[in-house]
Amino acid sequence: MKNSFLLLGMLILLLPACQSKESKNENNLASIKDTKVLQYAIEGKVLYENYCANCHQKDGTGLGKLIPPLYKSDYMIEDIGRTAKIIKFGQSGEIIVNGQIYNEKMPGNTQLTNMDIARIMTYIYNIWGNNEGVIDANTVESYLKSQN
């Protein structure tokens, strides 16, 4: 009996250490209350994991000084339209994200439709502490057509 209490106590102490990085980084869909946002975000999560997570990681933290984070990224929040263009057309050249310089070329995902990009953007702009709501395909289309 004494050993059972000891084991239970150890499990309780270790539980916070076992939390996934995902939950620590607020990378979950459970916090999204709007059903339309949630629908887009669920589909966007799958697309994100297929097209973006290899470099930016599932939790959005990037790859050290090589690939910038999306999680709590000032660069991403600063210009939502720019994000649509980067997803579709890629980006090269130096950028500064959260005070860190990055200069790794990101390839474009020209095969993604505006709806695919809308879903990815709805996902990344509604997790990790963000709350931008639905970013729809028409909005993505207008971002992609804009000159800025």
Which domains occur in the chain, in start order? 21-145 (1.10.760.10)
Whether residue 18 has pLDDT greater than 70: no
End-to-end CA distance of the chain: give it in Å, rounded: 68
Q: What is the pLDDT of residues 46-88, one digit of tens each?
A: 999 999 999 999 999 999 999 999 999 999 999 999 999 999 9
Cα–Cα–Cα angle for 97, 102, 104, rounded to 5 degrees: 135
pTM for this predicted structure: 0.81
